Amino acid sequence: MNAARVLLVAFLASPTTAWACAVCGGFSDDEKGAYIGTTALLSFLPLGLIFGGVYYVYRASQTHVTPMLERTESSDRSPQ
């Protein structure tokens, strides 16, 4: 039990030896910037595609629905 505590304390005292993955800690400054930039790109690209698609559908619906509404309103105003 005492050896397990010593091993746990040694493990927690030296976090540089316990990186979660091989690429998380061994960076130069240029590599770190590229890693962060790629992470940001891969995080925001799907969001941009989703919002772009929603905006496209919104704009397409505005161009197709508005003329139909105007035709419906103009036919409602015509005397019978």
pLDDT digits (tens, 9 = 90+) for 11-62: 777 665 555 555 566 667 777 788 888 889 999 999 999 999 999 999 888 8
pLDDT at position 19 is 56
pLDDT at position 66 is 65
- State how many domains the chain has: 1
The neighbour count for residue 25, using CB atoms within 10 Å, is 13
In DSSP notation, 39-80 reads HHHHHHHHHHHHHHHHHHHHHHHHHHHHHHHHHHHHHHHS--
> Which range of residues forms the domain containing residue 58?
2-77
pLDDT at position 5 is 87
| Residue 10 or 14, more confident | 10
pLDDT at position 65 is 67
